[in-house]
Structure 1
Amino acid sequence: MSEGDSIGESVHGKPSVVYRFFSRLGQIYQSWLDKSTPYTAVRWIVTLGLSFIYMIRVYLLQGWYIVTYALGIYHLNLFIAFLSPKVDPSLMEDSGKMKNFGLSLEGSQSLNSGLILILFLRHSATKGILVAMACTFFEAFNVPVFWPILVMYFIMLFCITMKRQIKHMIKYRYIPFTHGKRKYKGKEDVGKTFAS
């Protein structure tokens, strides 16, 4: 392997200026994300506010329906990912590894880590809204289309997808939320000394 063959390295073996710039930009972005972690309500308000601003912009401009449709499909995909467990029970059933899997789904944090997935959902939804908002500044993305057809197709796609997902949830007896699940406790007397 010769010098400069690895990604981000210049001919002299040092990271290139562009690589260092984007690396530093990524570090700053991650730092701001980490600082915003405790403010869950504020982050959701910002996401909903951006969504509201986007809807007003599309309504006032009377266009960019394809971009809005793509954003809706992206959000539907994120929602389905939220409803799905990490490990698909149907795949485990096919491989013969499934033994009484329905009972093991209750209270199992390895299958559906809701908090992390909700944070990912909000972050991804916000990025999607920002990309869609940026697309509304370019006339090339304003494809003329009869928008009621897109709305009907989205509703049909949503209903079919949710019907399939709900059937899957019923068949394998899992719920995507941690509220109402059984909580298993360990030994309560650990650490107490015996009186002699």
Structure 2
Amino acid sequence: MEASPMDADYSSSLPFAKWRSDTSRHFQHFLDRSTPHPVGRWLGTLAIASIYALRCYLIQGFYIVSYGLGIYLLNLLIGFLSPVVDPEMEGLDGASLPTRGSDEFKPFIRRLPEFKFWYSITKAFCVAFVMTFFSVFDVPVFWPILLFYWVVLFFLTMKRQIQHMIKYKYVPFSRGKQKYTGKKASGSSTLPKD
């Protein structure tokens, strides 16, 4: 029986598939081990961002890449600050955030969880850093205009997001698990005596 050319291609790609599977498994193991360490993860991302910023500063270029990175990071931030169920769109079906004190407590669930937020930011900085090694991405542009436009876009977007947060009374940040303190004492015992 003769070996077909398809069998030869399959057998030559088998070591690559095994290497890819092993690499993917090791990388996922690294991610799983880093999950309970948010401070270390964010410090690592800060180091990567600093290296990227230093490279762009020393080269004096790649402003379009930085602008695209800034727009992408702004998009991620909006997802991080937004609830998974938008009360503006889904308010009629009963799955909205509580707006009155008598409503049932529903915890804030982000559209983009913290881990995915961190992972996406880190990947974005790594991709942008790799792009700085290719001159095709170094488009000559007057960078102060891009910076001004990004700052205006940031403030307008954040203003809209904060107004949304105020309107629907949700805060996307918490300081850990809330503890029940019991019933508060009556108001007459807390008044100072003259």
After TM superposition, the score normalised by the length of structure 2 is 0.75
Q: Please give the residue correspondences for 1:1-196 in structure 2 after superposition, counting only pairs within 5 Å.
A: 17=14, 19-93=17-91, 95-97=92-94, 101-103=98-100, 108-109=106-107, 111-112=108-109, 117-179=113-175, 183=179
TM-superposed CA distance for 1:107, in Å, is 5.5
Moved more, 76-85 or 57-66: 76-85
Name the amino acid aligned to 1:27. Answer: R
Residues 78-134 of structure 1: CA deviation (Å, up to 9, x unaligned)? 1111110111111122x453678314888533x4259x8222221111111000000
Higher mean C-alpha deviation, range 37-46 or range 174-183: 174-183
Structure 1 unpaired stretches of 5+: 1-9, 186-196
8 A contact 1:107–1:181 mirrored in 2: no
**What is the DSSP-based 3-state SS (H/G/I as helix, E as strand, rest coil) of the residue aligned with 2:113?**
helix
Instruction: Give distance in 2, aligned partners of 1:49 and 1:25.
Output: 24
Decide whether aligned partners of structure 1 residues 124 and 99 sit closer, same or farther in structure 2, where only a CA change above 3 A counts: closer
Query: Hey, what's the Cα distance between the residues in 2 that align with 1:40 and 1:181?
Result: 17
The size of the alignment, in residue pairs, is 172
Give the 3 Å change call, closer, same or farther, for CA 106–129 of structure 1 in structure 2.
farther
Cα 1:128–1:98, aligned 2, differ >3 Å: closer, same or farther? closer
Which amino acid in 2 is paired with 1:164?
R
Where does the alignment leave 5 or more consecutive residues of structure 2 unmatched? Answer: 1-6, 182-194
Change (3 A) 1:60 1:32: same
The SS at the match of 1:102 is coil
What per-residue deviation string (whole Å, max 9, x for no partner) do you get for residues 161-181 of structure 1?
Answer: 111111111111000012388
* Alignment partners' CA distance in 1, 2:84 and 2:143: 35
Taking a change above 3 Å as real, the CA distance of residues 98 and 113 of structure 1, as seen in their structure-2 partners, is: closer
The corresponding residue for 1:3 is none
CA distance in 2, matches of 1:45, 1:180: 20
Percentage of pairs with the same residue:
45
Report how far residue 159 of structure 1 moved.
Answer: 1.1
Alignment root-mean-square deviation, CA:
3.2
8 Å CA contact 2:79, 2:110 repeated in 1: no
